[in-house]
Amino acid sequence: MVKRSSIIFFTCIVILLICDAASDVEHRKTYVVYMGSLPEESSYSPISHHLGMLQQVTGETDAASSLLIRSYKRSFNGFAAKLTEEQREKIARMEGVASVFPNTVLHTHTTRSWDCIGLVESVKRNVSGESDVIIGFLDTGIWPESESFTDKGFAPPPKKWKGTCAGGKNFTCNNKIIGARFYRGDSARDDVGHGSHTASIAAGNNVNGAGFYGIAEGTARGGVLSARIAVYKPCDNEGCSDAGILAAFDDAIADGVDILSLSLGGMFPPDDLYNDGGISIGSFHAMAKGILTVQSAGNEGPDPNSLTSVAPWILSVAASTTDRQIIDKLVLGNGATLVGDSVNAFDPNGTKYPLAKCKDRIYSDVCECLKSEIQGKTVLCNTRIDIKAHEAGAVGAIVKDSGVSNGPTGVTLFPYLTLSPKEYNVVASYSRSLSNPEAEIMKSESIADDNAPRVAKFSSRGPSVAVPEILKPDITAPGVNILAAYSPLASPSGHDDLDPRRVKYNIISGTSMACPHASGIAAYVKSFHPNWSPAAIKSAIMTTAKLINGPKDHFSYGLGHVNPMQAVDPGLVYDLSKQDYLELLCNLGYNTSIIKRISGDQSVTCPKSPARPLIRNTNFPSILIEEQSMKPFDVQINRIVTNVGFANSEYNVSVQSTSGVNITVEPKVLSFKSFSEKQSFVVRIVGGKLPAGSVLFASLVWSDGTHNVRSPIIVNILKSTRG
Ligand SMILES: *[C@@H]1O[C@H](CO)[C@@H](O)[C@H](O)[C@H]1NC(C)=O
Ligand SMILES: *[C@@H]1O[C@H](CO)[C@@H](O)[C@H](O)[C@H]1NC(C)=O
Ligand SMILES: *[C@@H]1O[C@H](CO)[C@@H](O)[C@H](O)[C@H]1NC(C)=O
Ligand SMILES: *[C@@H]1O[C@H](CO)[C@@H](O)[C@H](O)[C@H]1NC(C)=O
Ligand SMILES: *[C@@H]1O[C@H](CO)[C@@H](O)[C@H](O)[C@H]1NC(C)=O
Ligand SMILES: *[C@@H]1O[C@H](CO)[C@@H](O)[C@H](O)[C@H]1NC(C)=O
């Protein structure tokens, strides 16, 4: 049997193979055994403790060591192991065990797309402060040789850095990428492209002449050029395991990162904080150590309740469009030109291909033809593209936008585009009217989009199923068609086996791309305010956000579109401590054993009468109340703001109300005499009988003439009584 030392825990492939073999025979599954904070005693050895526990349940020394997959031993206590159901139950009853939960697979929040905006290059920067900021990325690794990550002009890592370069085979760090660890595969090298893309969005160098087949040309630039990157790789092409994610949190917190960026999450909205694949737990520990975790909201929109980023201490980021839109044109044989959506790098060079005429026979569930009828032709597809059409010989495809989101669209594997139903019908009737219809799918081009920013259809919407009383997502950031670094091992369309193209820069869409924009902004704020708490940084980014065009819907964009220039100087912040979050967990109705499990804090006690309605008093930068239908209400909400603007300042309140409620704020003026001074105020919301399911959006703004500190007020009238 394999003898383990701490080094071996990184070579998870070897261990997993051994354990998987055992699992076939004995029906073992991987469980994460979570044991809260590490004991203080210096003599405590987590690994021997964990092995001892496994020995107790298996009765064998050798077996125990082969079942242990990984020990968490740096920032919190616990381990991942292969267990039978019976062993799981035994371990769950052991002393010190806060919880045992199954290891689940999470996914990176992407699928391809374009454009890169960030802070303008000439923005005011605290260069020394910025080069001290370390962003940890939990992702698919990184391509260390990319021009986006060279370290020309970088000093050695900041002194506080306790991490290491353990990136595995043929992986070298530098003064930009200052640390690397992997929990999947044999190195931290990125063979998916996702991790290189996200890291370069937040903190990549300025790279001139980056582009993607001439569609989006220009400079690829990260938000914080001088910041450092620490790579943690719990994900690969197959997804991410929560055992790996927790291990990555454990390491990153101990290594000393400042911001954690997670462009990943579950595919289904978690119904509880402890069902989100370890992210609530890992990020709680990070928060307790002063580290803000930023996470993508999810790509499961546009339906309500589709949000997969739920932890109240996380900054959850929705995805929005930028002022550069990528379109694709279709020219029919009769000269008509239709404008569709896709990132299509293929140039037809003036060739029109025949449109397949397929009568009413169905080639597959989505494309309307038989295989023999589509070779060398362009095929019409009813709801979405089917790669099988391409494999069967179609040279192009025209897809009807079915109205539902199938996630972000991105770089195409072969020429195709999506058309609105109306335009699709134009093509369909043209095709029916002729015996030899033909069409040319043009190469994509960039145009200006005056309607930007708007929230992308695919971006997951709140309210969150797990905690509907808290407004989520928190903000929105660019996440549609972002050009950034990529891995030359992956194909730009994501179909590595069918697509021979390899690129250094790729266009991808997703809340995965929005997240690192927000992480970069958090790092930018941190570079000016190194001592701000995670909640203060969050508040600064949220209350300075710009309002979004179009109908109000805070459940799609949170407080609005990120506004980095203002975020460094918010005037006031709504701060929250670890203790406040523990109290929130009590009010959410979790018992102390669950709270210990999430927080790792074994000394937690809840106040005498915790209650869900008290959640509204948690000092968030947003205000949300839930009320019953057709029942008048009169509620008071408490908030505390901390002055981070001018020492001597006076803020006036203004309320933008909405019909159905009367909102008043007391006091109406807040006067501050010093920096860091705190002041409290009360918001009273009085409403009449409102119909079930109505959602009212109002807002309040504190202004000193220079700073405008905006909070939305949301009144959610429940559809039915919540038990
Ligand atoms: C710049 O960063 C340094 C180092 O973190 C910090 O001490 C200093 O206060 C910052 N300066 C400004 C103007 O924010
Ligand atoms: C290390 O990886 C780089 C990038 O793939 C490659 O160019 C180089 O040949 C590799 N070196 C070794 C020794 O494998
Ligand atoms: C169009 O021309 C370019 C340059 O000659 C060539 O690389 C490309 O393959 C052509 N496209 C098609 C669809 O034939
Ligand atoms: C705490 O809550 C969980 C989940 O609702 C439940 O399984 C557990 O028995 C509770 N523990 C105590 C001590 O009440
Ligand atoms: C709001 O205030 C107005 C004026 O005082 C009053 O007529 C109205 O009934 C109030 N609405 C509610 C919902 O209380
Ligand atoms: C706040 O309100 C007072 C009284 O209306 C006014 O004199 C003062 O100029 C206002 N201050 C700001 C910053 O708007």
pLDDT tens profile 522-573:
999 999 999 999 999 999 999 999 988 888 999 999 999 999 889 999 999 9
Distance 170 CA to ligand 2 centre (A): 6
pLDDT band at 46 (very low <50, low <70, confident <90, very high): confident
Distance 652 CA to ligand 6 centre (A): 6
Q: Which amino acid is at 661?
A: V
Closest protein CA for atom 6 of ligand 2: 170
- Residue 127's SS3 state is helix
C-alpha distances (whole Å) from 639 to each of 176, 331, 574 are: 40, 58, 8
Max Cα separation, the chain? 84
- Tell whether ligand 3 has an atom less than 6 A from the beta carbon of residue 347: yes
- How many CA atoms, within 13 angstroms, populate the side-chain half-sphere of residue 511? 40
Looking at mean pLDDT, say which of 239-243, 271-275, 668-672 comes out highest: 668-672
Are 681 and 653 a contacting pair, CB within 8 Å?
yes
Are 527 and 133 a contacting pair, CB within 8 Å?
yes
Backbone angles phi, psi at 203, to 5 degrees: -140, 20
Are 562 and 548 a contacting pair, CB within 8 Å?
no
Least confident of 364-368, 517-521, 635-639: 364-368
Least confident of 11-20, 54-63, 348-357, 696-705: 11-20
- Tell whether ligand 2 has an atom less than 6 A from the beta carbon of residue 489: no
The mean pLDDT value of the chain amounts to: 87
Pairing of strands 324-332, 438-441: antiparallel
**Angstrom distance (rounded) from CA 58 to CA 22:** 13
**Does residue 621 have a cis bond before it (omega within 30 degrees)?**
no
The residue with greater pLDDT, 71 or 583, is: 583
- Tell whether ligand 6 has an atom less than 6 A from the beta carbon of residue 704: yes
Q: What is the share, in percent, of the chain residues with pLDDT greater than 90?
A: 60
List 115, 132, 139, 401, catalytic entry: 139
pLDDT band at 160 (very low <50, low <70, confident <90, very high): very high
Distance 530 CA to ligand 1 centre (A): 7
What pLDDT does 276 receive?
85
Distance 615 CA to ligand 4 centre (A): 20
Least confident of 657-666, 699-708, 713-722: 713-722
List 50, 194, 517, 561, catalytic entry: 194
Are 490 and 503 a contacting pair, CB within 8 Å?
no
- Nearest ligand 1 atom to the CA of 128 is 2
Question: How is 327-352 classified by DSSP, letter by letter?
Answer: EEEEEETTS-EEEEB-B-----TT--
Question: What count of other Cβ atoms lies within 10 Å of the Cβ of residue 688?
Answer: 11
**Angstrom distance (rounded) from CA 228 to CA 664:** 45
Closest protein CA for atom 13 of ligand 3: 348
- Tell whether ligand 5 has an atom less than 6 A from the beta carbon of residue 688: yes
Distance 644 CA to ligand 1 centre (A): 15
Listed in sequence order, the DSSP H helices in 551-633 are 554-557, 564-567, 578-587, 592-599
What pLDDT does 193 receive?
95
Distance 662 CA to ligand 5 centre (A): 6
> Residue 694: pLDDT above 70?
yes
Are 681 and 665 a contacting pair, CB within 8 Å?
yes
Average pLDDT over residues 628-649: 96
Closest protein CA for atom 8 of ligand 2: 170
Are 251 and 208 a contacting pair, CB within 8 Å?
no
pLDDT band at 13 (very low <50, low <70, confident <90, very high): very low
pTM of the model: 0.87
pLDDT tens string 397-433: 998 887 776 667 789 999 999 999 999 999 989 988 9
The residue with greater pLDDT, 214 or 661, is: 661
Average pLDDT over residues 107-135: 62
pLDDT tens string 291-305: 999 999 999 889 999
Backbone angles phi, psi at 113, to 5 degrees: 160, -140
pLDDT band at 4 (very low <50, low <70, confident <90, very high): very low
- Say which residue the tokens 């492939």 belong to: 13
What pLDDT does 237 receive?
86
Residue among 142, 150, 170 to mutate when testing ligand 2 (max atoms within 8 A of CB): 170
Q: What is the separation of C-alpha 156 from the centre of its chain, rounded to a whole number of angstroms?
A: 30
> Residue 113: pLDDT above 80?
no
**Angstrom distance (rounded) from CA 687 to CA 695:** 12
Average pLDDT over residues 701-710: 97
- Tell whether ligand 3 has an atom less than 6 A from the beta carbon of residue 346: yes
Check if 194 is active-site: yes
- Nearest ligand 4 atom to the CA of 590 is 2
What pLDDT does 244 receive?
92
Distance 121 CA to ligand 1 centre (A): 19
pLDDT band at 715 (very low <50, low <70, confident <90, very high): very high
- Helix (H), strand (E) at residue 19: helix 12-26
- Tell whether ligand 3 has an atom less than 6 A from the beta carbon of residue 350: no
Q: What is the separation of C-alpha 105 from the centre of its chain, rounded to a whole number of angstroms?
A: 16
Check if 139 is active-site: yes
Average pLDDT over residues 652-671: 96
Check if 659 is active-site: no
Closest protein CA for atom 1 of ligand 6: 652
> How many H-runs (helices) and E-runs (strands) does the chain carry?
17, 37
Average pLDDT over residues 187-193: 96
Closest protein CA for atom 13 of ligand 2: 170
Listed in sequence order, the DSSP H helices in 588-716 are 592-599
**Does residue 304 have a cis bond before it (omega within 30 degrees)?**
no
Are 79 and 33 a contacting pair, CB within 8 Å?
yes
List 512, 527, 533, 556, catalytic entry: 512
**Angstrom distance (rounded) from CA 494 to CA 111:** 8
pLDDT tens string 573-616: 999 999 999 999 999 988 888 888 778 788 888 988 888 999 99
Looking at mean pLDDT, say which of 155-164, 218-227, 267-276, 321-330 comes out highest: 155-164
What pLDDT does 3 receive?
25
Q: What is the share, in percent, of the chain residues with pLDDT greater than 70?
A: 91
